[in-house]
Amino acid sequence: MAKVSWQVLRKDRELLVITVLSFACSIVVLVGLWVPAIWLFDASGPADGGKGGMNQTLALVGLATALALTVVGVFFKGALVSGAHERLSGGDPTVRSSLRRATPRLPALLPWAVLTFAVGLMLAALKERAGRLGRFMTDMVGAAWGVATFLVIPAMIVDGHGTVSGLKASGSLLRETWGENLAARVGFGLLGFLAIVPAVILFFVAGALGGAALIVGIVVILAYVAYVVVVLTALSAVFQTALYLYATTGSVPAGFEGSNLRDSFILN
């Protein structure tokens, strides 16, 4: 399925730029929130709150950063799905058209980002306070949440669902079209793991050589890992969109003809 998704993505490689834009916006968010926070704290000095004040400031900035990054990630994921939907429907998407189609969905995407952030925060807090069995159960709940919400963003982008109706649609489709989508999710994770192996090998080789080789190796590794993340993010969006279109229409989207897409969702 990753191979088929890549064949579709090759027709619109500019969609990879959307993921790059997402990373760029994330960096802007990090700089925009943390640089002023650090500057204000240094300017005020420890007398205005001491260590406790610093911890509170860091906690608030950390929460704001996590929420902002979630919003950025959700919006650009929506843009990727928009571009994938246009291509799978026979169109010829661009970065501009993908962003333009995702922007009107912001009233649904923003609350979804907030809900995603809140659920993640709650699960992290429960895991931190739980014992070994509790952490295992929390991980299971998190995995179940990921499965139940797998098609929320495609539902919002393709069919204009809101936050609540999109969540209901995603859960309903999983109940009605249960198949091997979990295996597909694991498969993409395994693909990412295998893709990172060369970077790990290069790191150890560069570390053994030391000196300039280590510096060059680190630069190459960072560039390679960034490329892998960009490609896998785009492939995942294409795959999710194709699954949603097939699950809702029963027809294999353009570009996935001859694939084993029907094995990923078995219509009841």
218's tokens: 């680190």
Return the pLDDT at 264.
Answer: 52
- Specify the pTM: 0.81
Bigger pLDDT: 8 or 167?
Answer: 167
Domain boundaries, given as residue ranges, for the chain: 2-264
Residue 157 phi, psi (nearest 5): -75, -45
Return the pLDDT at 88.
Answer: 85
pLDDT above 70 as % of the chain: 84
Return the pLDDT at 258.
Answer: 60
Return the pLDDT at 87.
Answer: 86
173's tokens: 């489709």
Q: Is 253 exposed, middle or buried (CB count within 10 Å of its CB: 0-12, 13-18, 19+)?
A: buried
**Residue 140 to residues 97, 137, 144, 176, 194: CA-CA distances in angstroms?**
38, 5, 6, 22, 24
Residue 75, amino acid: F
How many CB atoms neighbour CB 164 within 10 A?
Answer: 12
Mean residue pLDDT across the chain = 81
Q: What confidence tens digit (pLDDT) does each residue in 28-38 have?
A: 999 988 888 77
1-5, 50-54, 89-93: range with highest mean pLDDT: 89-93
Return the pLDDT at 267.
Answer: 44
- State the pLDDT confidence band at 68, using cuts at 50, 70 and 90: very high
How many CB atoms neighbour CB 103 within 10 A?
Answer: 13
8 A C-beta contact, residue 89 and residue 254: yes
Instruction: With a cut of 80, say whether residue 165 has pLDDT above it.
Output: yes
Residue 227 phi, psi (nearest 5): -65, -45
